[in-house]
Every structure is written in structure tokens, then in C-alpha cells.
Amino acid sequence: MVSVPKQSGDAHWHLENTYMTLPTVFYTPQVPTLFPKPVLRYFNDTLADSLGFDRNATTQSCWAQRLTGMVQPLGSQPIALAYAGHQYGQFSQLGDGRAQLLGEQVTPAGERFDLHLKGSGPTAYSRGFDGKGTYRSMVREAIISEAMHALGIPSTRTLAVTTTGERIRRERWHEGAVLCRVARSHLRVGTFQHAALQDNPKVLHALLRYAISRHDPTLMQTDQPYALWLRAVADRQARLIAAWQSIGFVHGVMNTDNMSIAGETIDYGPCAFLDRYDEAAVFSSIDHDGRYAFKQQPYIASWNLARLAEAILPVLHEDRSKALAAAQAMLDHFAKTFTEVWQSNMAQKLGFDDEADNPLPWIETLLAHMQRLKLDYTHTFLTLSRDPFSQDLPVDNGFDDWRKSWLKALETAGVDQATRMKRMQAVNPARIPRNHLVEQVLDAMEEADMAPFDALMKALSKPYDYHDTDARYEARPDPTYRFVSTCGT
């Protein structure tokens, strides 16, 4: 393995790697592949500032070398992470097959964020694959992860995308690239499944204590820290999935190794946003049975949380019946919290005060009309937020009856037009990363035209700005357009 130089003259890197305080079954030291010609193609200045970096303290070439792992910043101890996971319901031993954890950047505010390099070459967990990433898939993740952040949905983020100077083979030849992902941690449900495989309570205890110290440190002072932590994880997941369902996001690959215990959206492989509303929407080319369909996401999240509880059950409580009761209480809390948060989110999308009104009948009826009439999800809420009598809305007796009863209900609740519009426009985005727009940007990017990418990223950075008059980013796709996603990595 090639030794990698460490570089001084850092741009305010403050890296630690507390993950290495865990037993060594959770990681393998890693030195990534040395690439022929790394070039920094995208750098997130706003995110870099919040992390405490000074972009101008070093050259683009130095950034490119660091953000592919070719030069280690001070404090970096790169490792590939081990984990297991249920993928489409089938259990496998997994791990970072094409990534490394560079370290944890400690910000000026004292927060800690993982810096994770995706596409950085083969690891001990690559299982014979090359460990590389395609430029197209990495830019796609940059677009969608940053859009999710702007929409207010908890998400990993993208600090940079760096091309490597290599050509890699997938369904065709692609330019290679490395993405620097920023996350509150890379602890997954699958990490705890991996711990359970060790059949060693000390390993489980070590991982649980570490997870609690990273995300819920006050819980260690309680009588039942593990049960309360499990509930906290369920709470974060319930709020996250409710946000997905409210915005029309389909993750596409909700394997247990893709569920972060930090409650962030992670892994943007085959994800997509709804165009026409269809509760059974599936975009992934390999999800033939609809396991991860839009309507299934809350149920799959609950199933994944059950696998988490299953993994830590031996140490959850010394009395097995109490451990099982704590696990069931967690699942009940998830279901209750998801329902409450989703209903609250949807009520706000229709202008209701969710605490005072009873908006559920109007929510459910609208979704039924959207399903029946094949209405565009985002566009329908956007139009209702502007003008509920717009000619862009369907001419349909059932829909018209719903609209009249909805507006009457708001009037009865004392919600005037100005209040309704203010409430609705605060939560219904004017712009999302439309599947067809993202594909157009990626096509242009592969032809070395970055202007469409820059314009789209700017538009998506302010999704709730109703004063932006550029209609390109609100445009619905052609009715015949059908988007099919692949992992494309």
C-alpha cells in the first residue's frame, strides 16, 4: 500500500477520528487509490464556511488532492467502516466498499461532522469491485442533497466533487469522481447489526455508548439510556420520513445500511421526486416488487427500526420481557410521531392551523383526487398556494367540490386569504430538483457545460422564494416522461 503524505499549511482543518476509539471490528485503516489527475469541479463555499474551512488558504490543486485522499490533512486517520444490512430484505455483511472516513471536522462552534470520501477506491469491504464513483452520480448526489438541505429536510450534504482523471466502466464509460459527503455521523442501523454479529456484549455496549455520546449525550445520565436512545432514534426517523412524504421524495433504497441513526437522509443512489402523484410510485430500476415505493416508506422505516431493536436486544435490558417491551414502545412511538408530524405537515401545506383545525378529511380527499386525476404533486400545492382558482388546476366536479369545501373550512376557521397564502408558501416549494431537469443538467455537465448546473443549484437554494420569476425550474415534465433511476455508481 502506498504511503500518503500529510500536508501542513491546512485551510483550518480540525480533524479527529473518534470512531477509532471503537473496537477494531468496526473499521479497517484505509489509504485510497492515488488518482492520475484530480480536478476540483464543485466546492460548496457556504458549507465550507460553516465547517470552519478557508477555501482561499490553499490552492484548488491542494483541495483536490485532499478531497480525494491523495494528501491527508493534519489529524486525518482514514478508515473504511464495517457494517451489515438488509438489502431488499436480504441480510448481508457489508462495509464501505468504495469510501473512506477521512475524519471528523470540529467546527468553530464545537460541532462535529464526518467527512466521508465516496468513490475513493477499493477497500477491505469492496468484494472484488473497483471502489470508484462516476462523475454523473456524484454530481447528482450533490444536487439533490443540497436541495434537500434547502428544503429543510435533514440530510447529509456535499462539500465537494472532484474528478479523478480516470475513465471507469459501468453500463458505459464514465468519468471518475470522488464526492466529499458531510454527515453528523455515519452510524447506521446496519452498524448495530454488524455489532450483533460479533456475539459479544462488550462490543454492543461500546457502540451504544459511542452513539449516545455522539448524538444524545445527556441520556447517559439516565437510568435507562439505551431504551431512551432507541426512542430518540425512532423520533428522528419519524420526523424525517414525515418530511419525505410531505415533500414527495422517494428514497428508493431504504436498506438498513442506508438508515442513519442521526436522522439524516443518506445515500441518494436511485432516489427521485414525485411528478404525477402516485402513492405506489417506484423509480428504481431494480425494485421490481415495490418494496421501497412511496407509500411503503413509513412501513419500511418501522421495519428497519425493528431490526435495530433486534440487534441491541441482548443489552437493552437484563430482563428480556422488559427489553421486548422497550422495543415495542419504540415502534409505537415511531408510528404515533410519524402520523402526528405528517398530518401537521400536510395541514400546513393546505393553510390550516393544525393544532386548532381538523384538516385530515381535506388532506385525504385531495390526495385521492390527485391519484385519480394523475396530478403533479408539487405543482398542485404550488398552484393552490398562489391561486386556488387557477386554470392550471383540473376542470373536474369532484376536485371543484373539494376546493370549495376546503376554502369554506379555512374561512370557518378564521383563516383569511393573506394568512392562507403566507402559511402555504412557507412550506410548499416553488422549486424542487425535478427529475427531468436534473438529467438535463447532468447531460450538459458531461459535455463540459457547467452553466446549467450552476443555474439549477442557485434556483434550488431558495425553494420557497415565490418572487423568482424564472419559470424553467417550476416546469412540469412532458406527460409522457417516465423517469427510471439506477444506483449509477
The tens place of each residue's pLDDT in the chain, 489 residues long, gives: 333 444 445 678 999 999 999 999 999 999 877 999 999 999 999 999 999 998 888 889 999 999 999 999 988 999 999 999 999 999 999 999 999 999 999 999 999 999 999 999 999 999 888 899 999 999 999 999 999 999 999 999 999 999 999 999 888 899 999 999 999 999 999 999 999 999 999 999 999 999 999 999 999 999 999 999 999 999 999 999 999 999 999 999 999 999 999 999 999 999 999 999 999 999 999 999 999 999 999 999 999 999 999 999 999 999 999 999 999 999 999 999 999 999 999 999 999 986 667 889 999 999 999 999 999 999 999 999 999 888 889 999 999 999 999 999 999 999 999 999 999 999 999 999 999 999 999 999 999 999 999 999 999 999 999 998 788 999 999 988 989 987 655
The domain boundary, picked from 295, 312, 347, lies at: 347
The domain boundary, picked from 322, 347, 372, lies at: 347
CA–CA dist 189, 52 (Å, integer)? 30
Cβ–Cβ under 8 Å, residues 253 and 349? no
Residue 45 lies in a domain: yes
Q: Are residues 267 and 137 in the same domain?
A: no
Give the contacts of 234 (CB within 8 A, at least 6 positions apart): 305, 330, 331, 333, 334, 337
CA–CA dist 282, 90 (Å, integer)? 19
Residue 400 lies in a domain: no
Residue 449 lies in a domain: no
Residue 484 lies in a domain: no
Q: Are residues 124 and 241 in the same domain?
A: no
Give the contacts of 226 (CB within 8 A, at least 6 positions apart): 208, 312, 315, 316, 317, 326
Q: What is the pLDDT of residue 10?
A: 66
CA Rg value for the chain: 23
Residue labelled with grid coordinates 439524516? 264
CA–CA dist 8, 426 (Å, integer)? 45
- Phi, psi (rounded to 5 degrees) for 52: 95, 10
Q: In terms of Cα–Cα distance, which of 280, 279, 283, 291 is closest to 481? A: 283
The domain boundary, picked from 347, 381, 402, lies at: 347
Q: Are residues 215 and 116 in the same domain?
A: no
Give the contacts of 383 (CB within 8 A, at least 6 positions apart): 390, 392, 393
Q: Are residues 208 and 94 in the same domain?
A: no
Pairing of strands 99-106, 6-7: unpaired
What is the CB-side half-sphere exposure of residue 300 using CA atoms within 13 A? 25
Residue 474 lies in a domain: no
CA–CA dist 54, 50 (Å, integer)? 10
Cβ–Cβ under 8 Å, residues 85 and 94? yes
- Tally of domains within the chain: 2
All three cell numbers of 2: 502506498
Q: Are residues 169 and 207 in the same domain?
A: no
Q: Are residues 203 and 330 in the same domain?
A: yes
Q: In terms of Cα–Cα distance, which of 358, 390, 381 is closest to 427? A: 381
Q: Residue type at 356?
A: A
Q: Give the H/E segment covering residue 187.
A: none
CA–CA dist 371, 278 (Å, integer)? 6
Residue 457 lies in a domain: no
Q: Are residues 131 and 202 in the same domain?
A: no
Range of the domain at 315: 190-347
Q: Are residues 300 and 238 in the same domain?
A: yes
Residue 450 lies in a domain: no
Q: Are residues 229 and 343 in the same domain?
A: yes
Of the residues 257, 275, 357, 376, only one is catalytic, namely: 257
Q: Are residues 139 and 160 in the same domain?
A: yes
Q: What is the pLDDT of residue 5?
A: 42
Burial pattern 292-327, b for ≥16 Cβ within 10 A else e, equals bbbebbbebbbbbbbbbbebbbbbbbeeeeebeebb
Q: In terms of Cα–Cα distance, which of 332, 349, 335 is closest to 384? A: 349
CA–CA dist 210, 203 (Å, integer)? 11
Residue 257 is a catalytic residue? yes
Q: What is the pLDDT of residue 31?
A: 80
Q: Are residues 258 and 111 in the same domain?
A: no
CA–CA dist 182, 111 (Å, integer)? 12
Q: Are residues 28 and 101 in the same domain?
A: yes
CA–CA dist 167, 134 (Å, integer)? 9
Question: What is the DSSP secondary structure assignment for residue 108, as one 8-state letter?
Answer: T
Strand runs labelled E in 89-156:
90-93, 99-106, 112-118
Residue 374 lies in a domain: no
